[in-house]
Structure 1
């Protein structure tokens, strides 16, 4: 089994999607790109709803847990409390067959 971990996160954001909000996301993305143990992150949004999410690939569970604790506190500090998440192991052999970006 791989030491890589997927963190799948879903939340509801009821605030306005303003220019400032979008610029803040760019700054947040830039800071996430520097986080130790984060290999990549995909940002998601369900069109026409207030449902947002992301899927991360981490080097291992220790990096994931450290980041998760910090990030959930950050989300809570801006009023986001409806958060659902899952941590998954990766089945690398079969994922590689389907060109999974595991690097």
Structure 2
């Protein structure tokens, strides 16, 4: 398996919680169509004014392509800096802790 985790975060002053769920539902549905995406966990921190997500992709190329496209989309929405890191997955340890990638 060559799956990759993509972690993204950025400064975000938009709606949070239920309001975010309603405002970004169409975006969430469109993300399901991204090549190589297995799943996404949406992240938010009202206290730190951050938005982002944790993504599981089939491979590094899919994660890189998504990060480039998503960074551009966010910058077009006024986000100044997008922090994105692609991680390898340590499957033996993830399996011990019941990580949802196996």
Matched with 1:17 is 15
CA distance in 1, matches of 2:57, 2:5: 6
- 1:21 CA drift (Å): 5.8
| CA gap 1:20/1:95 in 2 versus in 1, 3 angstroms | closer
The more displaced of 43-52 and 53-62 is 43-52
Provide the aligned C-alpha RMSD in A. Answer: 2.0
- 1:89 CA drift (Å): 0.2
Q: Which has the higher contact order (CA 8 A, sep 6+)?
A: 1
Q: TM-score, normalised by structure 2?
A: 0.86
Secondary structure at the counterpart of residue 9 of structure 1: strand
Unaligned segments of structure 1, at least 5 residues: none
Matched with 2:83 is 84
Aligned length: 101
Matched with 2:48 is 49
Unaligned segments of structure 2, at least 5 residues: none
